[in-house]
Structure 1
Amino acid sequence: MLRFTANEVGIDQGELTLVTDFDTQGPMWTEQGERTVRQRIEFSERFLMPPVVHLSLGMWDLDVSTNQRGDLLVENVTSAGFDLAFHTWGDTRVARMRVQWMAIGALPDDQDFIL
């Protein structure tokens, strides 16, 4: 459990289209090449310390004739941002994917002394 000692708690959120490989004939759709996508997300304001980050799929467009496998991850969380990563393998074909994220954490207080 994350306990906040600051007086202010912030929630930042956003969404991004992470995969558009059907349109571009990219590796997630053609099964050729790197099957991992990473995107750095920067928060709109810095948190006091690394926040808790939650991910969800806003849109998931897959080929129905293949296995549907994927791993959606939050990596390298800092007070300024995080890396969003998606990985698939085997014969899974991902046409498009939109990911939504939410970060919850303590915010710096104007009364705090931060280096």
Structure 2
Amino acid sequence: MKKLRASILGIDSGDEILFEDFEDGGEMWTGRGQRERRRRIKFSERYLSTPTVHLSISLWDMDAGTVLRADVAAETVTEKGFDMVFRTWGDTRVARIRVAWMAVGELEDADTWDVG
């Protein structure tokens, strides 16, 4: 459990189209085996400490003729941002993916004095 001590709680969010591979025959649509896409997401403000980041697929456009395999993760989370990562494998064909994210953490409070 993460305990927050700051008097200001920051919640940042977004919804990102990670790729659209059906339009240009990209590897998520035409490839096989292990495949990955990542995008660096920057927060609108710097957090005081590493925030908790939650991801969810908000749109998936996949070929129904193959098994649907997908993994979405937030990696290398820092006070400034994180890597949004989508992975698939096998013969799964992914046309496009949109991922919603939310980060929750402490923000610096200008009214708090550092007397230490």
> TM-score, normalised on structure 1?
0.93
Read off the aligned partner of 2:43 and give its amino acid letter.
Answer: F
Q: How does 1:49-64 map to 2 (within 5 A)?
A: 49-64=49-64
Structure 2 match to 1:87: 87
Report the 3-state secondary structure (helix = DSSP H, G, I; strand = E; otherwise coil) of the residue aligned with 1:24. Answer: coil
Q: Deviations over 1:3-30 (max 9, x none)?
A: 1111110000001101200011100000
Match of 2:97 in 1: 97
Partner residue of 1:67?
67
2:5 maps to a residue whose letter is T
Secondary structure at the counterpart of residue 83 of structure 2 = strand
Residue 5 of structure 1 corresponds to: 5
Deviation at 1:32, TM superposition (A): 5.6
> SS of 1:23's equivalent?
coil
The one-letter amino acid of 1:42's match is K
Q: What is the SS of the residue equivalent to 1:22?
A: coil
How many percent of aligned residue pairs carry the same amino acid? Answer: 51
| Ranges in structure 2 where 5+ consecutive residues have no aligned partner | none
- Structure 1 unaligned runs (5+)? none
Moved more, 27-36 or 104-113: 27-36
What is the aligned-residue RMSD (CA, Å)? 1.4
> Once superposed, which parts of structure 1, at least 4 consecutive aligned residues long, lie more than 2 Å away?
none
